[in-house]
Amino acid sequence: MIQQDVREHFSARAERYDRSSHWCGDRAFLERIVDRLGASAGYRVLDVACGTGQVSRVMSERGLRVLGLDFTEAMFRQGRELTEFFVAGSGEAMPLAGDSVDAAIERQGIQFMDDQRAVSEMVRVTKPGGRVCLVQLCAFGAEDEREYFEILRLRNPARRNFYRVERLGELLENAGCAKVEIHSERSSEDVEVWADNGAIQSESQKAIESCYRSASEPFRRLHEVEIRDDGTILDRMLFAIAIGVC
Ligand SMILES: C[S@@+](CC[C@H](N)C(=O)[O-])C[C@H]1O[C@@H](n2cnc3c(N)ncnc32)[C@H](O)[C@@H]1O
């Protein structure tokens, strides 16, 4: 269950992870995600693939009792103190009893996992009536997915899954969730900063920038790509926040 390529990727990225994208530490975005979870102070919430603890921090500050789970030590050693409890383990086979948390969330974790299995695990450990929340970068649709998935593959060769928004709803419904809602968010990313994640070679970074410079008209339009005179490339990326009730 421990995928070595994923762990190696995040071990290489851990030191600069928090600075490698705007979305990662964007406080307003984090607050909106946690708002969507609808959890009250004292609730016990599982943060799957908690990494350096960006989501855990905001939840802890709101008085939630956070249980973190991740399998890359270089990432979770920065974040585990932000959690009340921490489990080193796999999102696809959680060492947790059923109905043991009030809600569960993952942000940018299940793209590295057997995603249906991981979401089913989130539902299994969440009490009936609790919410399960998935937050993922997504393609806008058929017009941009081929180019975008190629870019995401270059940035992280360990990635296994690529999403369109509706797939997140299917994952929740297949796991038994009801009342599924999906919300969208945009995040403006400087592509040069985003591509320089500490775990890929400069050839891959250049290939990513080249994809943006030669992107199709639909891709540029949907992503609102801006190429400035100083060479800066901006992409207004799409995130989906999908929530279901167990
Ligand atoms: C992109 S980071 C996301 C971190 C955090 N959720 C955030 O939003 O900043 C992905 C994290 O998923 C973890 N991860 C990937 N696959 C995993 C698995 N199968 N089980 C547990 N953790 C996993 C990695 O170790 C890494 O810390």
pLDDT digits (tens, 9 = 90+) for 84-133: 999 999 999 999 999 999 999 999 999 999 999 999 999 999 999 999 99
Confidence band (pLDDT; 50, 70, 90) for 1? very low
Q: Which amino acid is at 221?
A: R
Give ligand 1 pocket residues (Cβ under 6 A): 6, 10, 24, 49-51, 54-55, 70-72, 75, 90-92, 107-109, 112-113
CB 212, CB 191: distance < 8 Å: yes
Q: Give, for 128, the enclosing helix (H) or strand (E).
A: strand 126-138
Alpha-carbon gap, residue 81 to 10, rounded angstroms: 19
For residue 80, the model assigns a pLDDT of: 87
Alpha-carbon gap, residue 45 to 30, rounded angstroms: 15
pLDDT average, residue stretch 189-209: 93
pLDDT average, residue stretch 7-16: 92
Q: Which amino acid is at 238?
A: L
Average pLDDT in the chain: 96
At the top level of CATH, which class does the domain 4-142+156-188+237-245 belong to? alpha beta
Domain boundaries, the chain: 4-142+156-188+237-245
For residue 3, the model assigns a pLDDT of: 87
What percent of the chain is modeled with pLDDT above 70? 99
For residue 2, the model assigns a pLDDT of: 58
For residue 137, the CA-to-ligand 1 centroid distance in Å is: 14
CB 190, CB 237: distance < 8 Å: no
Mutate which of 3, 4, 10 for ligand 1 pocket (most atoms within 8 A of beta carbon)? 10
For residue 223, the CA-to-ligand 1 centroid distance in Å is: 25
